[in-house]
Structure 1
Amino acid sequence: MSLDLETATTTKTPFPAAGADRAKPASEPGYQVIRRNGSVTPFDASKISVALTKVFLAVEGHSAAASRRVHDIVADLTAQIVAGLTRRADTGRTFHIEDIQDQVELALMRGEHPKVARAYVLYREQHAQERALERAAKAEAQAGTTPALRMKTAEGSLLPLDHARLAALVLEACAGLADTNAETVLNETQRNLYDGISQDELALAPILAARTLIETEPDYAKVSARLLNDKLRREALSFVAGRPDQATQAEMASRYAEYFHDYVRVGIANELLDPELGRFDLARLAASLKPERDLQFDYLGLQTLYDRYFLHVRGTRFELPQAFFMRVAMGLALREIDREARAIEFYDLLSSFDFMASTPTLFNSGTLRAQLSSCFLTTVSDDLEGIFKAVKDNALLAKYSGGLGNDWSNVRGLGAHIKGTNGESQGVVPFLKVANDTAIAVNQGGKRKGAVCAYLETWHVDIEEFLDLRKNTGDDRRRTHDMNTANWVPDLFMERVEQDGPWTLFSPDETPDLHDLYGPAFKAAYEAHEARAARGELKVSRQVRAQDLWRKMLTMLFETGHPWITFKDPCNIRSPQRHVGVVHSSNLCTEITLNTSHDEVAVCNLGSVNLAAHVDARGLMFDKLRATVTTAMRMLDNVIDINFYTIPEARRSNLRHRPVGLGIMGFQDALQTLRLPYASEAAVRFADESMEAVSFHAISASTDLAAERGRYPSFEGSLWSQGILPIDSVGLLAETRQGASFDVSSTLAWDALRQRVKTVGMRNSNTMAIAPTATISNICGVSQSIEPAYQNLFVKSNMSGDFTVVTSALVRDLKTRGLWDEVMISDLKYFDGSLGQIDRIPEDLKALYATAFEIDTAWLIEAAARRQKWIDQAQSLNLYIANPSGKKLDTLYRLAWKRGLKTTYYLRSRSATHVEKSTLKGTDGKLNAVSATVPQAAAPILIEAQPDLAASEAWGKACSIHDPDCEACQ
């Protein structure tokens, strides 16, 4: 039988080409196929149908019944293959014949046609060997000759393809990476070349070649990044010079300084950079650039910067990595006295990856609209003017990359009286629908989706409708499919759940005091309102069983991933600023706990310490950590004064309280360096020790800034002014929760610092918050935030596309023990990146590299509880559970509350994005600058409904890891 897609024609099929109608879009002009001989022909989807038909009939026979069955199967498979190919079409809209056959092979395997797939694989292997022999014979006959390929320039002229430069480029990309092979990359590159190849396609070819090798050797991620950097250099240098230009990495050592001057000039001329940057001593800054730091990127990090961060004019990037970091540093140093010295200090910290500012700061620092803050929290008033002002504020804040948290607990509930019209309220839900649609409409210029989280207190009469907002069934006018939601849960409700007591729901227009109360005062007022309701004095109220409401909260969290569970009382009782207001909600990612009111919109300014860069085999590097935190706190404090505020309430709040949120990332990497399994007491102790050090240095740095610049205006009366530090406020929570006890052990010199805070003061009302760091951890090439590893080999999705990710440390350990080979790669794919079922891996490595779903979730909570005692705000704490049930979720979230956590974030269930199990090719997905394949389609996993969770069917719809639309995955 002949299964070659190059030779298959429609005349050989026993019936009309199956799937041709579905494949029509791919046959339109523009899609081309690179043949093995280097020629290029129009893409014809019918040839796929022909090849598939022949292999099916060869395996299954030629009966009429078989032919009809094959026709239907082939039609579906062809449509899948064509869809996969067109999704990954690169800028030249070309496919190599081998890429098409890879997709055919994948489709056969996914479609569960093992006999047909085996026949196809064997056929490909046989003919690959035959072609290899032919090539060898031809090479011997034509020794010393090179195919005369030409490259087409942007102007359309043809130039000889520079094979020497291509080889030099690949050699340079592999330099210093011991287990990479330039010849392998070059051979893979050569098969994607053809006569007349465009300049962009030529730049992509080696990148695509190196990417296919990442899962065999993680260092190819660096090779791919270095090759992408060459494409970026040509793009940027040509743009700033106004003529075609390019340079190797070695040449940039002498050219970066010249380029930097041109970059600033061009950025200002195109109204992308603040003209004030042109008044810096550019020569001094240019001399401080470190071109060699371009080599430290992994592919995912540099591709993310290329797609979403680097400045561009109509899609042409002109910002190189070290110019990017210097631009951010200059923007943060604008108001420093010796701003060049500070800019260099900030640049060194950012470009080393020891610390990374948050995404809005990276997007906007040094630009004309320097909105650098990450998070905004608002309280929505209970009137139409206030509600629609809040929606407008959301739009203005989201426009420049702010993440939003809205407190809706003030808005009266369904059935409440409206005095102005003598009518009844429709409740909070219709207005949430408006807020949802606004978040979608304002998408931050395409850089990332507008994102908002709505919070509602558990006593609100609309709470049950609020729980249903993310359901896919019911009246769509009362659903918010795109907006995040979170429960703002008072301790009293959790106590009623523990006691299996009743819970009364109210409308806030009749119980307005509950919104601003917490702790014992809330309990007294709530019980008084319950008595009023029992006497019939309230128009709108309803009593439910607390455990029934709790069960529904967990059911919806399980089924839809929302609303998240956050706790009102610890957020307020431990708030340093409780003397001047109330924390009514958290933010989009549940790590910010700041006061809000009708005239103050809380603002927080974030950045994260790369913990992995501050440990070695001996432990935490305290001196380096102190230096990093000190500089980072200065940068974050500068954000407050430089920031572009889109609404006055945000400016007023930020300047009055000056909160910042210093967090950490790379926690899992740090554990692996220290050889500590995540699921261990030692890891919990390290979480405690490392966060204590960050807390100590952050508070100390803020005190130093207060001595230099003055205290924040609302300092007097704060917990700080009373000498109550975060570690001390744990005791306040213990007093409120009678009988509760929390770990308050410490190791550093807190007494002296406590006294200094009281006498000198603080520059910032809040200093710490652990954000998700989804994107900035990608940039730095470390594990996300405080997360355990998702898998050791997987496909990660974000707005830049889909990327193969391999745990480099695991590969190094397996190599050391002689266990890294093709069989191991195959096993990791088969078991979705988990080591647990691979027998030949030693137990110590299984424990060290256990993935998120193999770790008992209680370990995550215990580690978070140890961190929480040091943090004046909160943590974005994702919880992972492989097989959710009502009982497990109940135990989990009660434990989080009892351990004094302020908030939780996503509930992560098993993801439907798996590693491809067939070929080494095709494990990366579509990118803006570089294309590859897309992971298999997501499919929900049916999980048996638990009697105590839900009476209806329960589908596993809790958060699916690495959703490209998810803020926490960006």
Structure 2
Amino acid sequence: MIRAQTEWIVTKRGGRTASFDASLIGRAISNAFRAELNLADNQPLDDEIRMEIPEMVESVANEIASAASSDAGIEVEKIQDVVEMMLMRRGHYRIARRYIVYRADRAKLRALRASTDLADESDTIKSTTPRFHVILTDGTKTPFDEARILARLSDACRGLEGDCSAEALLEEVMRSIFDGISVEELYRAMILAARTRIERDPAYDTVASRLMLKIIYNDALGNAPSDVNELNQLYVDRFPQFLSDGIEAKRLTPDLHKYDLNRIALALKPERDHLFQYLGLQAIFDRYLLHIDGRRIETPQYFWMRVSMGLAIQEAGDVTGRAIEFYNILSTFRFTSATPTLFNSATLHPQLSSCYLSTVDDDLDHIFKCVADNAKLSKWAGGLGNDWTQIRATNSHISGTNGQSQGVIPFLKVVNDTAVAVNQGGKRKGAVCSYLETWHMDVEEFLDLRKNTGDDRRRTHDMHTANWIPDLFMRRVREDAEWTLFSPNDVPDLHDLYGQAFEQRYAEYEKMTETGELKLFRRISAVELWRKMLTRLFETGHPWITWKDPSNLRSPQDHAGVVHSSNLCTEILLNTSRNETAVCNLGSVNLKLHIVDGQLDLGMLEETVRTAMRMLDNVIDINYYPTAEARNSNTRHRPVGLGLMGFQDALLAQGISYASMQAVEFADASMEAISYFAILASSELARERGRYESYTGSKWDRGLLPIDTLDLHEKERGVPIEVDRQTRLDWQVVRDSIAQNGMRNSNVMAIAPTATISTIIGVSQSIEPSYKHLYVKSNLSGEFTQVNLLLVDDLKALGLWDADMLEALKYYDGSVTEIDRIPDDLKARYLTAFEVEPKWTIECAAHRQKWIDMGQSLNLYLAEPSGKKLHDMYMLAWERGLKTTYYLRTLAATQVEKSTVDVNKFGIQPRWMKNASASGDIQVERTAATLVTPGESCNLDGDCEACQ
């Protein structure tokens, strides 16, 4: 039993005394447990801990009873020492450590507040006169006001008090305070305090977003009023000044004055700022909002309206009405333009296009012209794809000098270094992908370009590479036949041939090697070369696997040239030549937002796609073209690439698992609808604005839609493409419209990665399955804890979201499949990318591909890679008629140390600790485990995004 507490006198700091109160010890111990277990303030401790705490309090009380002097009492520091020792004796070493940290933090708070009374070490917050000062933006000092910070945090937590604590956030902020802290540093401390708690409860994401908006409003509006009506009025009043400031600073075009600015300002919807999640706000703040001398002059809605005005600037008729129409689609997140458009719309240099593709001729002048073009295009935020197949191979004869060529590799080193030297407008790193056909004699050295070993003068560590593979090679692999490598100057027509024409000519060249007509060649096993391609892909992530024949045989523009490569992200498939640098203008539909009451809302989707196609078509005429070849190609063919994002979220909104036939059927149906509305919209634009210049003779003109070309490809390949051809919509309407009006755009669809724009609007990336449900994302804006909000909502609905669930998610690396508490149906819906069998990703992509006139940026995930699995996966992708693939992502042999998780609590070995062995017909030369995760290897903005 504890002696009567009134007999003990506790000596406080500063000499004040008070009666001993055992409840304060219990509170301090509880706080230490909560901090260590990462519990929210309103979450209870588990029963075992709650039952043990009274025992610990009694143990402490009985120990200090003998030490307490009836005259002098006992010092508070001595009580805390006893608490530490008691925790360690009971085996709670980590809790004891947390308690020590807690004491140190409390000491810092006392110093900050210069207080002599902290209410017996309780958590009560009291405002006192501080000894610290804040440096204002004009350089003046003002006393630090704790009450003001608490008021701002309370305002950010309004309506979320059940999940968020302003007082707890203040405690975190106080730990970062120092004398002379700037206002900006103080604001960042508040946001950081909210960010670090997002993993406890996603409601803190809303808090961080509100705090971020305050910073933006202070910058752009000069004030951040809490009153909604006052803010709305300020939004309207400041808009003309925003435009004037931007024009005066030469950041905006003076042509914006042509709009009815009063009508534009009244159309702004400030409440839509709250549609952003925190990471989206941080992304646009860091890289998208216009600034003058570091001060942002745009709010989020000014940003969307500025983009909309830039896209409508050459519209005929009601230009203001069109801008408002575009704004209502963009600001509600139904559709988002690609990053170059968001960067540069309505500026003096409106380079709005995403991707540039070029073919390099076997001519020294043209080689270095293309390198210079790369620099110009990269400067204005363009992602680059270069076809290098025409460059003669190593040791081939140079007639002009009577010497021997060094091949293509040295030139690719120059391309690599140019991409590093010239970044994308100072906003993200330059990036280029070089393509080479599989029959080129330098292909084996090309495969080694990304290796970390060997002659560094023949390595390109910063450049992407991709194989451009004919169907004939894939059939030779299946047949275990030989493959012949040539120098392009000896077989110049192979570059422009595809399908059966390529196969016939290739066979003729092979016969010429037998007769001695061709001297420079090399024969190798197709299987051996395929093995090396997959091995390098596994080891280095490059070269990517892309296919020449489906890209050409299904191209609408087969009458006007040849597709020689894809782009930086492998979704754009356009003709290129010496005189034409292909250009593509991208944007993506937010598929998640078009799921209403568990179904795809076709009416909303049609409206979104029609407006999106108009915006994309406008880009072509507004665009600033860094090279004449780019202008020539884009204005002649007018290609656009409408894609999608949020596919995984759309599945979850319908209760569908990615690993299911339901997902494949939804991929098919949703892409058919997008294709239907996009093609129809382009045809309607042709009626209004005229057909694109090279329309005559195209597949459109010949009555062939993307769905029709699958049979053409199958016939040329000679191998069945096992994808059904079913349709759900009345395509005769589209066919009739094209027959009557033609098409405004040569190409209309391509699915880009959308890494950054999906982050901005807070949906899952492109067509990707969820990477993990809890992870840290790194990009140029910093590191951010990402929690799957949909999963948290479902767990909360079942009463399962608590500290134990959070700890389990950490232990299992963001996977739910091994957490026993989670129901099986939820586990099936929330499989992560490495838990979805690759066949499902490929089947979904194949059923989309039949509707798409270009391609898809398709990442493939393999949790336990082996040679056989890699072979089977890429062979299935080819057999299903896919045109391209993108990154191969595999898991590392080890994962991050679980330093904040009690691993002994789980008692089983998670899958990430199990070793995978490589086996099968094709053995992988595994020198080191490879982990390619979102945020690596793209050389852009840390988001694995190129064209976006």
Matched, 1:766 2:750: no
CA separation in 2, counterparts of 1:143 and 1:385?
A: 74
Q: Distance in 2 between matches of 1:600 and 1:215?
A: 50
Structure 2 residue corresponding to 1:490, chosen from 450, 466, 470: 470
Query: Aligned equivalents of 1:887 and 1:144: distance in 2?
Result: 67
For residues 724-781 of structure 1, give each alpha carbon's deviation from its aligned partner in whole angstroms, at most 9, with x where no partner exists. 1111111111211224143111100002211221221010000000000000000000
For residues 574-589 of structure 1, what are the structure 2 equivalents within 5 Å?
574-589=554-569
Classify the secondary structure of the residue corresponding to 2:825. helix
Indicate the SS of the match to 2:425. helix
Aligned residue identity for 1:124: V
Q: Verify the 8 A CA contact 1:661 1:766 in the aligned structure 2.
A: yes
What CA distance in whole angstroms lies between the structure 1 residues aligned with 2:890 and 2:249? 46
Amino acid corresponding to residue 464 of structure 1 in structure 2: E
Moved more, 616-625 or 524-533: 616-625
SS at structure 1 position matched to 2:651:
helix
Alignment partners' CA distance in 2, 1:778 and 1:144 = 39
CA contact (8 A) 2:892 2:929 kept: no
* 1:783 match: 764
Offset, 1:904 = 0.2
CA displacement, residues 543-595 of structure 1 (integer Å, 9 cap, x when unaligned): 00100000000000000000000010000000000011000000000000000
User: In the aligned structure 2, how far is the partner of 1:702 from the partner of 1:142?
Assistant: 62
Change in 2 beyond 3 A, CA 1:855/1:553: same
1:618-767 matches, within 5 Å, as 618-741=598-721, 742-767=723-748
Of 945, 951, 954 in structure 1, the residue corresponding to residue 927 of structure 2 is: 954
Q: Distance in 2 between matches of 1:262 and 1:397?
A: 32
Q: Conserved in 1, the CA contact under 8 Å of 2:892 and 2:930?
A: no
Unaligned runs of 5+ in 2: 1-12, 15-90, 111-116, 902-911, 937-941
Which residue of structure 2 lines up, in the alignment, with residue 904 of structure 1? 885
- C-alpha change, 1:647 and 1:837, in structure 2 (3 Å) is same
**Structure 2 residue aligned with 1:207:** 191
**Contact 1:265–1:278 (CA under 8 A) maintained in structure 2:** no
Name 1:52's counterpart in structure 2.
none
* 1:8-87 correspondence runs (5 A): none
Q: Distance in 2 between matches of 1:805 and 1:652?
A: 43
- For 1:244-323, list aligned pairs within 5 A: 251-323=230-302
**1:231 Cα deviation after fit:** 1.2
Is 2:684–2:737's contact at 8 Å kept on the other side of the alignment? no
1 CA distance for matches of 2:629 and 2:878? 32
User: Is contact 1:795–1:915 with CA below 8 Å preserved after alignment?
Assistant: no
807, 813, 829: which one aligns with 1:848: 829
Partners of 2:623 and 2:502 in 1: CA distance: 36
- Conserved? CA contact 2:118–2:124, under 8 Å: no
Aligned residue runs from structure 1 range 235-250, under 5 A:
235-238=219-222
Report SS of the residue matched to 2:461.
coil
2:224–2:231 CA contact under 8 A, matched in 1: no
In structure 1, list runs of 5 or more residues that go unmatched: 1-35, 38-113, 239-243, 921-938
3-state SS of paired residue (2:457)? helix
Task: Encode CA deviations 1:288-318: one digit per residue, 9 max, x unaligned.
Answer: 1111111111111111111111111232222
> Which residue type is aligned with residue 727 of structure 2?
S
Paired residues of 1:459 and 1:506 also in contact (CA < 8 A): yes
> How far apart are residue 197 of structure 1 and its match?
2.9
- Determine if the alignment matches structure 1 residue 424 to structure 2 residue 404: yes
The counterpart of 1:374, out of the listed 354, 378, 385, is 354
Shift of 1:221: 1.5
**Deviation at residue 889 of structure 1 after TM alignment:** 0.3
Residue 347 of structure 1 aligns with which residue?
327
Q: What does residue 136 of structure 2 align with?
A: 153
Which of 800, 804, 819 aligns to 2:800? It is 819
| Alpha-carbon distance, 1:116 to partner | 8.6
Correspondences of 1:522-561 after superposition (within 5 Å): 522-561=502-541
Distance, in Å, in 2 between the alignment partners of 1:649 and 1:222 is: 47
Which 10-residue stretch deviates more, 438-447 or 505-514?
438-447
**CA spacing shift, 1:903–1:248, aligned 2, 3 Å:** farther
Give the TM-score taking structure 1 as reference length: 0.83
Q: Distance in 2 between matches of 1:446 and 1:620?
A: 40
Distance 2:780 2:598 in 1: 38
Give the counterpart letter for 1:302 in structure 2.
L
Map of 2:374 onto structure 1: 394
CA distance, structure 1, for counterparts of residue 486 and residue 784 of structure 2: 48
| Cα distance, 1:164 vs structure 2 | 5.2
Residues 310-349 of structure 1 show CA distances to partners (whole Å, capped at 9, x for unaligned) of 1112322221111111111111011012111111111111
CA distance in 1, matches of 2:713, 2:666: 24
- Shift, 1:910, TM fit: 2.0
What whole-Å deviation, never above 9, does each CA across 1:766-821 have from its counterpart, x for those lacking one?
A: 00000000000000000000000000000011222211000001101111111111
> How many residues align structurally?
836
Instruction: Work out the CA distance in 2 between the residues paired with 1:689 and 1:865.
Output: 12
**Which deviates more from structure 2 when the two are superposed, residues 782-791 or residues 175-184?**
175-184
Provide the secondary structure at the position in 2 that maps to 1:771.
coil
Q: CA contact under 8 A between 1:775 and 1:969: conserved in structure 2? A: no
Alpha-carbon shift at residue 150 of structure 1 (Å): 3.8
What SS does the aligned partner of 1:956 have? Answer: coil
Rounded to whole Å, the distance in 1 between the matches of 2:893 and 2:344 is: 34
1:907-941 per-position Cα deviation (integer Å, ceiling 9, x unaligned): 01126997774459xxxxxxxxxxxxxxxxxx999
What SS does the aligned partner of 1:759 have? Answer: helix
- For residues 615 and 166 of structure 1, the distance between their equivalents in structure 2, rounded to whole angstroms, comes to 40
Contact 1:169–1:248 (CA under 8 A) maintained in structure 2: no
Q: CA RMSD in A?
A: 2.6
Instruction: State the SS of the aligned residue for 2:202.
Output: coil
Instruction: Report the residue type matching 1:755 in the other structure.
Output: D
Matches for 1:395-414 after TM superposition, within 5 Å: 395-414=375-394
Distance 1:247 1:816, change over 3 A: closer
For 2:245, what is the secondary structure of its paired residue? helix
CA contact (8 A) 2:130 2:145 kept: no
Equivalent residues of 2:498, 2:552 under 8 A apart: yes
Give the Cα separation in 1 of the matches to 2:734 and 2:399. 54
Query: Which residue number corresponds to residue 73 of structure 1?
Result: none
Alignment of 1:218-229 (within 5 A): 218-229=202-213
Matching residue's letter, 2:945: E
Partner-residue secondary structure (3-state), 1:955: coil
Give how far 1:955 is off.
1.7
Segment drifting more, 821-830 vs 178-187: 178-187
Partner of 2:461: 481
- 1:376 is paired with a residue whose SS is strand
* Structure-2 separation of matches of 1:680 and 1:947: 26
- Specify the alignment match of 1:327 in structure 2: 306
Letter in 2 for 1:603: V
Q: How many Å separate the matches in 2 of 1:196 and 1:679? A: 55
- Deviation per CA, 1:807-846: give whole Å up to 9, x if none: 0011011111111111111111111100111111111111
State the match for 2:36 in structure 1: none
Q: 1:958 to 1:915 in 2, by over 3 A?
A: closer
What is the CA-CA distance between 1:187 and the residue it aligns to? 3.7
Q: What do the CA deviations read for 1:593-634 (whole angstroms, capped 9, x no partner)? A: 000001000000000000010002331011000000000000
- Write the letter of the residue equivalent to 1:957: T
Q: Which moved more, 1:227-236 or 1:547-556?
A: 227-236
Alignment equivalent of 1:438, drawn from 418, 423, 443: 418
